[in-house]
Amino acid sequence: MKIVNEKIRKVVAGNGREARIWVERPELVEEQALKQIESMLATPNLVEHIAVMPDVHWGMGATIGAVMALDDAIIPNCVGVDIGCGMACHPLGLKYEGELKTRDHWRRWLGQVQRSIPTGFNSHQPHPELLQAQKLEARAERGDQAGIENLRCTEYIATTKRFGNVAEMVLCQQGTMGGGNHFLEIQRDESDNLWLMVHSGSRHVGYQIAGHYAKLAQAVNQRLGQPAAPHLNWLSLSTPEGRAYLNDMQWAVDYALLNRKAMLRRALGVMGIAFSEDLLINIPHNYAAVEEHFGKQVVVHRKGATSARVDELGIIPGSMGTPSYIVRGLGNSESYQSCSHGAGRTMGRKAAKKALNTSMFAEALAGTFSTASGSYLDEAPQAYKAIDLVISAQDELVTVVHKLTPVITLKDGAGGVD
């Protein structure tokens, strides 16, 4: 497998198929990711080419930052384990001035938010009053209530018992933030208008659904003698199993959105600001959908990539301490009307913890009110690609609407605030 042209949009040939990669320089794509892309190119039912975003890096099962289209087939590992994970942001209607420009104000706000939004493996306690309040909040979300009220995880709930009390877990994890690269952040734009951004997904529910269907796809492929690359087992949408995954995956996407809205409501509420559906920008980056591309109906998989249809607003976050961007899609057909989902890692988590220290982390957070911590050293900006290069590499895919500079960030592992 090799890169066969030297334009910004690289074309990688393998197995007689192509992967078109939007990067500034070939060396920005790690060798491990290129090998994984080559494996993905051998997928049965692949349509046209694979589109690879500038934040590309190796992932579990399939490359993160990749978009692929299949004919009547869906691959759970090309969606990922955090189904529906994505970004949402909401303007505050306030300026970065006066008290809102002080460290004390934002550290107090962060402390209050930490008490209302559990992070990492934590969740809300399952007492009856809270569960009832969570259920009422779910009903208030008209577009999402079907997923919460009916719990339509057809195949998964019918065939597994590991999940325990499904309804209770769904409700207890509603309005909670995951670990790793998930965050909640106050930001300011070029005109010093303040924004609130959150990155999170479908929590343990999505993880369990993903794991169940990855195993199911492997069993189906083996039983029917269908070829599949390692960790790239697939299900036909013509089968009950494929249709069940598509249904349950969409349920998890809906739940992830409900989760992000719940966190925005609570974080805004600390400041006495009402959440507005009309002001919300939301974009998921781990999902699959039936769409029309190149004149045919195909199943588009976006793993670490987002939709970027013509005039569609999206969010491309940087790493902790670096800018994020609100963008507008250009509807590029060669990228399946998609763009990157973030900066993309340059170091694995273990490697980052070995190579970096808290002093380096603190230096990268200068200019923000966030505190560096060894508990999430693997989230230091030095472990990620430069967001400005990622943005400039996709000027065929999106245009920048706002550049958002971080003010203060909540992440799992932050502990108490000072």
* Residues composing the chain: 418
CB 174 within 8 A of CB 137: yes
Cα–Cα distance measured from residue 309 to residue 283, given in angstroms and rounded to the nearest whole number = 12
Q: How many CB atoms lie within 10 A of CB 167?
A: 12
Cα–Cα distance measured from residue 213 to residue 237, given in angstroms and rounded to the nearest whole number = 13
The secondary structure of 175-188 as a DSSP string is T-B-STT-EEEEEE
Distance of alpha carbon 311 from its chain centroid, rounded?
A: 20
Amino acid identity for residue 27 in this structure: E
Report the run of H or E that residue 48 belongs to, with start and end.
strand 46-57
Helix (H, G, I), strand (E, B) or coil at 3: strand
Amino acid identity for residue 69 in this structure: A
Q: How many CB atoms lie within 10 A of CB 266?
A: 18
Cα–Cα distance measured from residue 48 to residue 43, given in angstroms and rounded to the nearest whole number = 12
Amino acid identity for residue 185 in this structure: E
Q: Is 199 a catalytic residue?
A: no
N-terminal to C-terminal alpha carbon distance within the chain: 52
- Cα–Cα nearest to 265, from 196, 201, 320, 326: 196
Cα–Cα distance measured from residue 359 to residue 351, given in angstroms and rounded to the nearest whole number = 17
Q: Out of 57, 90, 199, 341, which one is annotated catalytic?
A: 341
Place of tokens 């999206």: 314
Helix (H, G, I), strand (E, B) or coil at 122: coil
Place of tokens 């942001």: 89
Beta-ladder partners of 339: 306
Place of tokens 């529910």: 205
Cα–Cα distance measured from residue 63 to residue 355, given in angstroms and rounded to the nearest whole number = 24
Tokens of 66: 């990749």
Active-site amino acid positions: 341
